[in-house]
């Protein structure tokens, strides 16, 4: 498992509200990703979840009292914030947002926020009418103006029985936002277009030609590019999972669908990464109705070549920086370099099918004008981050 927050020191602040129970799962997730987590709570939060729960999860004493004598200098609000790379308040009640927006320091957590010298992320949680109240919106706008990042809230069913905006983001969503926060914004301001997954070429309404691509590499690259600050559009064939947060996904089915979706967007992209396992051929005589075994024996299927999406994008005048992928069963370097020259692209990432096609991990070798750059075997998430860094270097993005 990739520990994306390894060594990061995070203070998790928990305020009063029913969503405090989600903070326990959030702390667990942060620690699983390698973070060093210190929990601080308001007195109100202890009415929903005990400090013992957070102490058991974090393995550290939990701080509630501004005058806690466990700090030798009785300055927990200073010492805890000075040790942190980030303060994350989840959940943040309407009352707490109001207090920190106005610089109040009437409990440990608010005082810590006021005295901090590290970034602050806040995940609000409250009744929908409290969230929509003009006073709350003024406080949120004030905090955003001060550089505080507001995470959410989400919309949905609330503990009070009402439905609307005000739910705290789920712990997994907050974790993703925290991970994104720490990623260097190497592609800030860039537009990245990515293809991912297989295509499906219909033989009849229920049968077709496809392949074993899972789409994991393309989706991992979309997430890595978005975390690096890019505006990401993902053109995806049929896969079994959802798009990363902040990524605009365009669903397609066939190679022709993918070709059309890419070509109308390619001229607006700065970087195009062709990860999809696009079918080389489609069925020229696809049947309108389901083919039956008892009607005339084995059907004759005629194939016709699909357009080469990557080559067409690479040939565009003033087109994007193009990155290709080559999955081969043998002779990787020879085939990958030949593909790079044929399509006239500056960078291609090659891998052997047996090393990770369809799986969670892979082994990549990058081929560009400067030579060959092998990457150590790793998860597709880690390889994606390394590939994005390499693209940023080649495009002068940092």
Q: What is the pLDDT of residues 104-158, one digit of tens each?
A: 999 999 999 999 999 999 999 999 999 999 999 999 999 999 999 999 998 887 7
Q: What is the arithmetic mean of pLDDT over 370-388? A: 92
Q: What is the pLDDT of residue 163?
A: 79
Backbone phi, psi, residue 248, to 5°: -85, 110
Cα dihedral sign, 68-74-75-80 = negative
CA–CA dist 71, 94 (Å, integer): 29
Task: Tell which wins on pLDDT, 280 or 163.
Answer: 280
Distances (CA, A) of 73 to 10, 69, 332: 21, 8, 62
Contact 183, 228 (CB under 8 A): yes
Residue 299 has pLDDT above 90, yes or no: no
Q: What is the arithmetic mean of pLDDT over 390-397? A: 89
pLDDT tens-place string over residues 195-253: 999 999 999 999 999 988 889 999 999 999 999 999 999 999 999 889 998 999 999 99
Per-residue burial over 197-210, b if 16 or more Cβ lie within 10 Å, else e, is bbbbbbbbeeebbb
Residue 398 has pLDDT above 60, yes or no: no
Q: What is the pLDDT of residue 16?
A: 94
Residue 10 has pLDDT above 60, yes or no: yes
Average pLDDT score over the chain: 91
pLDDT tens-place string over residues 82-109: 789 999 999 999 999 999 999 999 999 9
Residue 2 has pLDDT above 80, yes or no: no
| Helices and strands (H, E) in the chain, number of each type | 13, 21
Percent of the chain scoring above 70 in pLDDT: 94
Q: Which residues contact 22 (CB under 8 A, 6 or more apart)?
A: 90, 91, 168, 170, 171
Residue 77 has pLDDT above 80, yes or no: no
Q: Which residues contact 112 (CB under 8 A, 6 or more apart)?
A: 11, 13, 40, 76, 77, 80, 81, 87
Q: What is the pLDDT of residue 351?
A: 84
Phi-psi domain of 131 (left: phi exceeds 0; alpha: psi -120 through 50; beta: other): alpha
Percent of the chain scoring above 90 in pLDDT: 73
Distances (CA, A) of 92 to 13, 102, 127, 251, 274: 8, 15, 12, 36, 41
Cα angle, residue 193 at apex, residues 192 and 199 outer, rounded to 5°: 155
Q: What is the pLDDT of residue 397?
A: 62
Q: At what angle do helices 51-58 and 20-32 cross, to 10 degrees?
A: 10
Q: What is the pLDDT of residue 74?
A: 55
Contact 347, 394 (CB under 8 A): yes
Q: What is the pLDDT of residue 241?
A: 87
Q: What is the pLDDT of residue 356?
A: 60
Tokens coding 44: 């109100």
pLDDT tens-place string over residues 17-57: 999 999 999 999 999 999 999 999 999 999 999 999 999 99
CA–CA dist 177, 227 (Å, integer): 9
Q: What is the arithmetic mean of pLDDT over 76-81? A: 67
Give catalytic status of residue 118 as yes or no: no
Q: Give the containing element (helix H, strand E) for 121.
A: strand 120-124
- Predicted TM-score of the model (pTM): 0.86
Q: Which residues contact 201 (CB under 8 A, 6 or more apart)?
A: 208, 209, 210, 254, 255, 279, 281, 282, 283, 306
Q: pLDDT band at 298, cuts 50/70/90?
A: confident
Residue 73 neighbours by CB distance under 10 Å:
7
Burial class (CB in 10 A: 0-12, 13-18, 19+), 31: middle
Residue 329 has pLDDT above 70, yes or no: yes
Q: What is the pLDDT of residue 75?
A: 60
Q: What is the pLDDT of residue 189?
A: 93
Q: What is the pLDDT of residue 1?
A: 52
Domains of the chain are 9-182 (3.40.50.1950), 191-394 (3.40.50.10300)
Q: What is the pLDDT of residue 66?
A: 79
Start-to-end Cα distance in the chain: 28
Catalytic residue among 118, 142, 160, 322: 160
Helix (H, G, I), strand (E, B) or coil at 233: strand
Q: What is the pLDDT of residue 304?
A: 95
Residue 76 has pLDDT above 70, yes or no: no
């Amino acid at each position: 498992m990739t520990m994306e927050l390894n060594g990061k020191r995070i203070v998790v602040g928990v305020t009063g509200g029913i969503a405090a129970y989600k903070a326990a799962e959030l702390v667990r997730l942060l620690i699983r990703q390698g973070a060093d987590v210190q929990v601080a709570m308001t007195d109100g939060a202890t009415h929903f979840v005990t400090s013992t729960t957070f102490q058991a999860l974090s393995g550290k004493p939990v701080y509630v009292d501004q005058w806690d004598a466990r700090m030798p200098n009785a300055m927990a609000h200073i010492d805890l914030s000075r040790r942190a790379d980030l303060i994350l308040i989840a959940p943040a009640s309407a009352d707490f947002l109001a207090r920190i927006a106005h610089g109040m320091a009437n409990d440990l957590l608010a005082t810590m926020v006021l005295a901090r010298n590290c970034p602050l992320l806040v995940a609000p949680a409250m009744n929908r009418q409290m969230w929509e109240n003009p006073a709350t919106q003024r406080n949120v706008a004030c905090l955003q103006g001060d550089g505080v990042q507001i995470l959410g809230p989400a919309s949905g069913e609330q503990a009070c029985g009402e439905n609307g905006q005000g739910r705290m983001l789920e712990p997994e969503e907050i974790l993703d936002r925290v991970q994104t926060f720490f990623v260097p914004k190497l592609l800030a301001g860039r537009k990245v277009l990515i293809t991912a997954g297989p295509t499906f070429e219909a033989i009849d309404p229920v049968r077709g030609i496809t392949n074993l691509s899972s789409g994991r590499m393309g989706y991992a690259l979309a997430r890595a590019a978005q975390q690096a600050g890019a505006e990401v559009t993902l053109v995806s064939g049929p896969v079994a999972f959802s798009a990363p947060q902040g990524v605009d996904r365009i669903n397609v089915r066939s190679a022709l669908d993918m070709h059309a979706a890419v070509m109308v967007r390619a001229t607006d992209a700065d970087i195009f990464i062709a990860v999809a396992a696009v079918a080389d051929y489609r069925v020229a005589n696809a049947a309108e109705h389901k083919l039956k075994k008892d009607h005339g024996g084995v059907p004759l299927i005629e194939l016709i070549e699909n357009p080469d999406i990557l080559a067409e994008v690479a040939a565009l005048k003033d087109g994007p920086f193009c990155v290709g992928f080559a999955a081969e069963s043998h002779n990787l370097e020879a085939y990958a370099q030949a593909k790079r020259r044929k399509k006239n692209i500056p960078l291609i990432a090659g891998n052997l099918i047996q090393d990770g096609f369809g799986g969670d991990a892979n082994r990549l070798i990058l081929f560009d004008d400067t030579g060959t750059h092998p990457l150590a075997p790793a998860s597709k998430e880690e390889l994606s981050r390394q590939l994005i860094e390499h693209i940023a270097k080649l495009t002068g993005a940092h």
